[in-house]
Structure 1
């Protein structure tokens, strides 16, 4: 009986039961009162009869025996009463004295019924008004939900089917709120991304257009043609890299990437990650140092994780100078495997470190570099997509350390 879980319905039911018990008690008292009134009526009637007989000269002994049913024939008496108009079928209203008794009895019963009905009416009306207020509040709050306002919640403090329904509707509103927020965030992301892409493409495309005009004007000058053709190639490469990075991030965001996680040697993973960066580091006089137990293993997607590590190492090379060291080390605990990529370069300012994982973000110290600001966000998406964590610590003038943490298979 789920309706008994409704506190308000339970209270109303208790009141009804209480009033019913009270009515039963009153009925007992009324019954006793009726019997007492009937007794008095009979005594008065017999007293009048006895007085009349005594006035007619009947002896007290005979009158007493008649009243006590010791003498007399009831059939003869009934015949006599019938002649006087008193039968079992005679309406009570035509019986002298009894009509008044009936009127008083009826009045008492009506008063009791009216009082009972009034009390029940008050309880039921109070219950319905309280329930109506609850419905009105719920309707108002649901109306706010329809407008996109989710500041209020439907009442769910009490128990019962109604409040269980309110709870389900409230949970549904939270799902709707989350969906709306995601849609708004998605639209904002698309708007910002389109704006950033437009800005990022504008510079190399403008440069290509200018370089092309110079080549046309200097077509008789082979050295100029070669110089600006190389600049055009560099700009085109930058645009291609930007598009490739954007496609990768978009695939990660849409959830269309299924990471193929397997167990690999960490040394092999790191080697694959920095393979294409070694020559550049040597050329620029920067030292790549790899240290860690070659037999340690990690569970990850080899291709994507190597790209994440490569992006972080590339970022370290970009922001370090000749003679600086870039270290890739790893360690393993019973719960996690950590890969640490650190350098002793210029470091990241406090005003920038909280924003470096934002797309297209470039700090105040990055103006001299051609980075588009997507490498670190892509690395973070790759690591977190595999239920890992990417953190960073940095000190100006002392260097930066990125830590990739992956859960160890238990």
Structure 2
């Protein structure tokens, strides 16, 4: 069984002491029983002898079958004492007493040996089973501590050990969940820091260069004005990156709680349209809205309008002069659907699976101003509402983004 534990040693020592005390008690009990047998034998012999002396005229068999009285016993005691047979007679001169003593001692010892043998055997099997169970549990715990967070102690049986093992398994599951949350949080922070540092590095380098140019051309008003304007664009770019990343981080961390309310989709789309009308008119592009005016969507209007606005902005950036962008919505008993489509350049098939990744820039795109965060933010907002977003596109024909929202209450 391996090395015995402290508690097991104490248990074995206690049982061994009990065994030794029991054997000592057995010796004492055997001695008492033997003395009592010797006393009864003497009384029997006294009675037989006294009966024979007091009833010489009766049959001798009566001396053994009749119950002796006090006179018979006293007469027999005096007669046998006269020849040296009384309570002081040594046991070694009484074979019957010796035989009784030996048989009594042997019987009691055999009984004790059987009982304690059974106890020791049962204890051995119990401790062996316990040792095996605890060894397996220890190995499993060490595997868990070594990094195998899926290790669990086998506890399919009933009993105190397995109740303890089940509690340990529950604790291991909780610890694994906490560790996984910490790992995800760490990765999340690392990704955010990496994204911010990556996106801020380029504008900062440009600002530094612009500042040096302005410093070296202080007297050239045209140069100063030109590079001041460029600096403002880079600062605006940095603001956009930082604010958008903060929104994504808050959404990913679950900090933002969507304040849902019953919103009229037609009014919501009209509000979004007003933000881009000037841009569209300047570039001779059209944005049209299509859908029933009584469609109601349970959502956070500010966030949903930002998601749809990001998609329309993306469409405007990738649509040629004279292009068209359409926003259409419909509702069924199950869901509310919003489609934003354009007749622009379209998306190359190899980019379709990546457009929702942060900072993704297609090698085929000619866009040099986008930061690659608008569509990921739109996706996060839609998913925070329990919805889905998908995209289909044909290069040279246009692109369609489809937003689906399950019709649930705002609770």
Contact 1:265–1:295, Cα closer than 8 Å, also in 2: yes
Give structure 1 stretches of 5+ with no counterpart: 1-37
Cα deviation, residue 239, structure 1: 1.4
Q: What is residue 359 of structure 2 aligned with on the other side? A: 360
3-state SS of the aligned residue for 1:378?
A: helix
Give yes or no for contact 1:81–1:87 (8 Å, CA) kept in 2: no
Residues 303, 93 of structure 1: alpha-carbon distance in 2 compared, 3 angstrom cutoff:
farther
Between stretches 107-116 and 72-81, larger displacement belongs to 72-81
State how 1:7-406 maps to structure 2 within 5 Å: 62-69=59-66, 73-83=68-78, 84=80, 95-217=94-216, 222-366=221-365, 368-406=367-405
The TM-score, its normalising length taken from structure 2, stands at 0.74
Contact kept in structure 1, 2:346 and 2:394, CA below 8 Å: yes
Q: Which segment is superposed worse, 239-248 or 279-288?
A: 279-288
- State whether residues 319 and 344 of structure 2, in contact with CA within 8 Å, keep that contact through their aligned partners in structure 1: yes
Q: Structure 1 residues 102 and 226 mapped into 2: Cα distance closer, same or farther (>3 Å)? A: same
CA gap 1:171/1:376 in 2 versus in 1, 3 angstroms: farther
Q: CA deviation at 1:94?
A: 6.8
CA pair 131-295 structure 1, distance change in 2 beyond 3 A: same
Q: What is the alpha-carbon root mean square deviation over aligned residues?
A: 3.4
Q: Structure 2: any 5+ residue segments left out of the alignment?
A: 1-36
- Say how many residue pairs are matched: 357
Contact 1:291 1:330 in 2 (8 A): yes
| 1:321-371 residue CA offsets vs partner (Å, 9 max, x unmatched) | 334433322222333322222334444444433333332222323453311
Residue 5 (structure 2) aligns with: none
Q: What is the rounded CA distance, in whole Å, between the counterparts of 2:361 and 2:171 in structure 1? A: 41
Q: Distance in 2 between matches of 1:280 and 1:167?
A: 64
TM-score normalised by L of structure 1: 0.75
Distance (whole Å) between structure 2 residues aligned to residue 166 and residue 73 of structure 1: 72
Displacement of 1:101 in angstroms is 2.7
Residues 290 and 328, structure 2, Cα contact 8 Å, conserved in 1: yes
* Partner SS, residue 372 of structure 2: coil
- Measured after TM superposition, the shift of residue 218 of structure 1 is 5.1
Distance 2:290 2:89 in 1: 120
Contact 1:148–1:177 at 8 Å: present in 2 too?
Answer: no
Contact 2:288 2:327 in 1 (8 A): yes
CA shift, 1:167, in A, is 2.2
Relative to structure 1, the CA distance from residue 243 to residue 75 in structure 2 (aligned partners, 3 Å threshold; closer, same or farther) is same
